[in-house]
């Protein structure tokens, strides 16, 4: 079911051939190399609902958010207050806004952040693509990820992440953070060095999810996939085998508070609104 255009890191882009050496994809991961052994006889146990789920596409061409497709966050998460005021369509693009409003923060202890997720929570195996442009202002985190709240607990049951850690984005060096999380197994994450600054232009980012593995990719200037990383279930502790939603959010965490603040290294520039742009989103299911 994979695209015939998919390949690892040999792609024509910006008028030159990008080889393995030129791309110099640097991977360093926090996974436990004994994960496969720890997994034992367990493994993915997908039900029939993981196959043939309905396709999804939204290009925000109606100049407003289709609330049949999307749920806009109004709750608190990651030290921020979500609001529909910071999730809107402009120039046929979805915009998520973030603001470190110092007066508001001093009064509430909260950032002004944003989030949106699909109303549907029945997506299964397939290919997700979204044409994105994050900010590169240090100290914030624009994301794209799957989320499974089926247990209605404090943690998502299974999750796949693309995270733009903006403190690691510049013209001199850029990387993207990829992760798999679960309430049931140890998290896995890796950072991949990029051959471009992801803020320079819109690019299609995504992940391809099957019953055997997760593959993260970004498209080059020709629309061909550059495979960033693959996560094979038989080599790790965890997997994706249950339906989920897709979510985007835009948030920050203070460095002095520790936790996520250690790597997000927020807050960003005070009293300035920052923007995360999403041109379109598509899901192609696998049978």
The answer to whether domain 11-285 has CATH 2.60.120.200 is yes
Q: Is residue 274 scored above 60 in pLDDT? A: yes
List, for residues 13-68, the tens digit of each pLDDT value: 333 333 332 333 333 334 443 344 444 346 788 999 999 999 999 999 998 999 99
Query: Exposed/middle/buried for 276, CB within 10 Å: 0-12, 13-18, 19+?
Result: buried
Q: What mean pLDDT is predicted for residues 120-132? A: 97
User: What percent of the chain is predicted at pLDDT more than 90?
Assistant: 76
Q: Is residue 262 scored above 70 in pLDDT? A: yes
Q: Which of 16-25, 115-124, 152-161 has the highest mean pLDDT?
A: 115-124
Question: Which tokens sit at 262?
Answer: 């250690």
pLDDT of residue 238: 84
Buried b / exposed e over 172-202, threshold 16 CB at 10 Å, is: eebbbbbbbbbeebeebbbbbbbbbebbeeb
SS3 category, 261 = helix
List, for residues 66-95, the tens digit of each pLDDT value: 999 999 999 999 999 999 999 999 999 999
List, for residues 160-217, the tens digit of each pLDDT value: 999 999 999 999 999 999 999 987 788 999 999 999 999 999 999 999 999 999 999 9
Q: Is residue 249 scored above 80 in pLDDT? A: yes
Inter-residue contact 281 to 246 (CB < 8 Å):
yes
pLDDT of residue 155: 62
Q: Is residue 244 scored above 50 in pLDDT? A: yes
The strand pairing partners of 203, in sequence order, are 132
User: What percent of the chain is predicted at pLDDT more than 70?
Assistant: 83
Question: Quick one: DSSP state of residue 244?
Answer: B
Q: Is residue 263 scored above 80 in pLDDT? A: yes
Give the long-range contacts of residues 152-157, CB within 8 A, separation 24 or more.
153/183, 155/181, 155/183, 156/181, 156/182, 156/183, 157/182, 157/183, 157/184, 157/242
Say what the pTM is.
0.85
Q: Is residue 268 scored above 90 in pLDDT? A: yes
SS3 category, 23 = helix
Domain extents in the chain: 11-285
Question: Which tokens sit at 110?
Answer: 């909260």
pLDDT of residue 33: 37
Sign of CA dihedral 149, 143, 209, 278: positive
pLDDT of residue 236: 87
pLDDT of residue 36: 41
What does pLDDT average to over the chain? 86
List, for residues 184-193, the tens digit of each pLDDT value: 788 999 999 9
Q: Is residue 134 scored above 80 in pLDDT? A: yes
Q: For 213, list phi and psi in degrees, rounded to 5.
A: -165, 170
């Amino acid at each position: 079911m994979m695209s015939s255009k998919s390949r690892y890191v040999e792609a024509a882009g910006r008028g030159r051939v990008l080889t393995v050496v030129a791309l110099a994809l640097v991977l360093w991961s926090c996974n436990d190399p004994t994960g496969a052994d720890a997994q034992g006889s367990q493994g993915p146990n997908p039900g029939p609902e993981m196959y043939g789920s309905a396709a999804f596409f939204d290009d925000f061409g109606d100049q407003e958010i289709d609330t049949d497709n999307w749920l806009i966050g109004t709750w608190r998460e990651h030290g921020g207050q979500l609001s529909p005021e910071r999730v809107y369509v402009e120039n046929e693009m979805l915009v998520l806004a973030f603001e470190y409003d110092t007066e508001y923060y001093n009064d509430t202890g909260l950032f002004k952040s944003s989030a949106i997720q699909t109303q549907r929570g029945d997506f299964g195996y397939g290919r997700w693509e979204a044409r994105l442009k994050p900010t590169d202002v240090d100290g914030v985190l624009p994301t794209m990820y799957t989320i499974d709240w089926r247990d209605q607990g404090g943690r998502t049951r299974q999750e796949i992440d693309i995270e733009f850690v903006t403190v690691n984005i510049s013209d001199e060096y850029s990387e993207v953070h990829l992760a798999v999380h679960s309430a049931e197994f140890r998290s896995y994450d890796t950072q991949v060095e990029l051959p471009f600054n992801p803020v320079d232009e819109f690019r299609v980012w995504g992940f391809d999810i099957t019953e055997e593995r997760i593959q993260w990719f970004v498209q080059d200037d020709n629309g061909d996939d550059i495979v960033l990383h693959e996560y094979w279930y038989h080599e790790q502790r965890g997997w994706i085998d249950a339906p989920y939603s897709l979510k985007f959010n835009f948030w920050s965490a203070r460095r002095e508070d520790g936790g996520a603040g250690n790597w997000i290294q927020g807050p960003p520039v005070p009293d300035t609104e920052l923007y995360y742009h999403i041109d379109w989103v598509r899901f192609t299911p696998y049978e």
